[in-house]
A and B are shown apart, each in its own frame.
Chain A
């Protein structure tokens, strides 16, 4: 009897240690806790949980994410993933560590922002004196659009794309421009899409290039730090190809959103990003 108990205990101990012998993976959310980065990284966390011991860390903003990732990678055994946004300031010293490099870039996602207004508003946004609700660096984009069309436009800054959408709904601006369209797609019954920020049309919405606007394709770059890069990418690809995975469901629910996870040439993706958004 005693022998059986010892054998059973050893078996349990062995299987437990075998089961817990997964690599640790840190997922660092560099976006806000209520945003799309958090949503997709949470989906990845759930999906990757079968393959890794996942530690999810909130580190909002590129400076904070950089600081956290520098700490994680101070131990060369640690593995981590995060996302770098094309909308960040690429010359910022605080964010330098996070800027995609040959040894950290994993794959990119492309997304197109939207120019929109309230249903019933005048769809002609190329008029003198109109006001755009913006966030991030889109004030420069609006000024470029105004200059290209020989009109003057005003901007009102909000914290994020949700603030931009609510500002428009509250009547504080005539038009709105956001880099990630999720807030627009969520409120489609109240909003009227006018143009896509990217170079491609989407449904009835033409690219802003047809309005002399500077096209702006959003890039979310997945980054990987530490060893085990090929294994991780392969695992993520397998998960992404599964229609029932959380990340696939999340991606399918978005519009004007393209993932390059299965792309043959990541280096080409990285070069395209670097060319469009050079580090200052």
Chain B
């Protein structure tokens, strides 16, 4: 239970601070997470992800700040409602929709979970290749407007992952740019990702401004609930859309919330009832957002393939503890660790996000620039600390600082293809070797 609490607190901060987000929060807590048992790490992560979704919509509604791209509909509709004095209705609708979305997604996942172990057998080498390459291609094509930039980032990710000594065959074959024992261990995951993913996000600096009237209409809980219930159709539509679109790699929650939002806007326009600050469109988007937040975890849990940077970091933390996703994740683990805790987490996150809304503006008294500097310094300290676990503190910091200029140069681009290629380079490599053997055997 205490790890749910920690996750909710961390998720609240991550949801509020632009540029911090889930990934940076995980990174900043990396040394602590490495000490936790596997199940507590799972619980913490789920609480962090859930709460971020809830709180992100609160800051989007009140401040007009999209903590993550999935909160854009909340800015468009929620912030408009806030300016009209309907901030409470917007926040309650988003919060209740989020609960419904999460629980419906959980129900759907629970229905399919008894069949999870069949998936291992279905995912033979060819299917794994299709999944890996589809995800990579989709990420490459959707992450940036300029496809050549995405391809370049992907190649850079593969190259960085290639550095070090071959740990697959244990032959000790090395690909190192300089002859130094530290380099044989490969480039440290957190140094690369902190420099090429977190740092570019930090330097995308902006100041949020509190807008809208301070006088907001006050409703009772029953009135909020009644309003939500009378519009529950939009929440159900959002849940279903979010559940399926959550499987889209790379931008699952953003894609889900924005698609659900657009669909609902279209419906409203057709009925002639749409104007900006539309409650149903907001609820549909937020429901889809939370629904997708859970389905996007399924490929990670079942196949060990992360679809987002934060999932990749979580994956790294969990496998370092000796957990094997394709092996240790089964129905019993799902029911005892995931499903049970998700219900509690959602209730906790719901109870935090809603009442927290009226205090939110206080947090923005901290200047964003100061916060970013603090986060950067903390990142340096984390590099040092994590590196010390491997007796490689200097190496971790040197790699981080050497890659910072690259991070600066690519700050305007989505670097997720780079992170994906870097993390899964050995999976791609091994998969290619196995396929080569299979095809060679077929032809001989």
**Taking chain A's interface residues, is the majority helix, strand, or loop, or is none over half, making it mixed?**
mixed
A64 touches B167 (CB 8 A): yes
In the bound complex, what is the Cα–Cα distance between A59 and B389 (angstroms)?
11
Q: Is B269 among interface residues, defined by CB-CB distance under 8 A?
A: no
Q: Is A72 among interface residues, defined by CB-CB distance under 8 A?
A: yes
Set of chain B residues within 8 Å of A136, measured between Cβ atoms? 169-170
In the bound complex, what is the Cα–Cα distance between A211 and B112 (angstroms)?
45
Count, A-B residue pairs, CB within 8 A: 112
Set of chain A residues within 8 Å of B214, measured between Cβ atoms? none
Q: Is B221 among interface residues, defined by CB-CB distance under 8 A?
A: no
Give the residue of A66, A71, A167 whose beta carbon is less than 8 angstroms from that of B125.
A167
Max chain B C-beta neighbours (<10 A), residue from A93, A162, A171, A172: A172
B182 touches A67 (CB 8 A): yes
Q: Is A209 among interface residues, defined by CB-CB distance under 8 A?
A: no
Closest to B181 in A: A67
Q: Is A156 among interface residues, defined by CB-CB distance under 8 A?
A: yes
Set of chain A residues within 8 Å of B444, measured between Cβ atoms? 154
In the bound complex, what is the Cα–Cα distance between A64 and B441 (angstroms)?
33
A64 touches B184 (CB 8 A): yes
In the bound complex, what is the Cα–Cα distance between A92 and B389 (angstroms)?
26
Give the residue of A85, A87, A93, A170 whose beta carbon is less than 8 angstroms from that of B121.
A170
* Contact A33:B320 (CB < 8 A) given known A61-B165, A64-B167: yes
Set of chain B residues within 8 Å of A61, measured between Cβ atoms? 165-167, 170, 172
Closest to B433 in A: A157
* Contact A57:B169 (CB < 8 A) given known A63-B185, A154-B444, A171-B124: no
Contact with A along B362-392 (1 / 0, CB 8 A): 0000000000000000000000000001111
Q: Is A95 among interface residues, defined by CB-CB distance under 8 A?
A: yes
Set of chain B residues within 8 Å of A170, measured between Cβ atoms? 121, 124-125
Give the residue of A34, A60, A63, A167 whose beta carbon is less than 8 angstroms from that of B327.
A34
A141-174 residues at the B interface, CB under 8 angstroms: 154-159, 162-163, 166-167, 169-172
Q: Is B174 among interface residues, defined by CB-CB distance under 8 A?
A: yes
Closest to A61 in B: B167
A43-93 residues at the B interface, CB under 8 angstroms: 55, 57-64, 66-68, 70-72, 85, 87-89, 92-93
In the bound complex, what is the Cα–Cα distance between A87 and B333 (angstroms)?
33
Give the residue of A55, A63, A137, A169 whose beta carbon is less than 8 angstroms from that of B165.
A63
* Nearest CB on A from B123, distance (A): 8
A64 touches B165 (CB 8 A): yes
Q: Is A131 among interface residues, defined by CB-CB distance under 8 A?
A: yes
In the bound complex, what is the Cα–Cα distance between A57 and B319 (angstroms)?
14
Give chain A's interface residues, CB within 8 Å of chain B. 32-34, 38-39, 42, 55, 57-64, 66-68, 70-72, 85, 87-89, 92-95, 131, 136-137, 154-159, 162-163, 166-167, 169-172
Sorted nearest first, the 3 A-B pairs with minimum C-beta distance are A92-B172, A63-B165, A61-B167
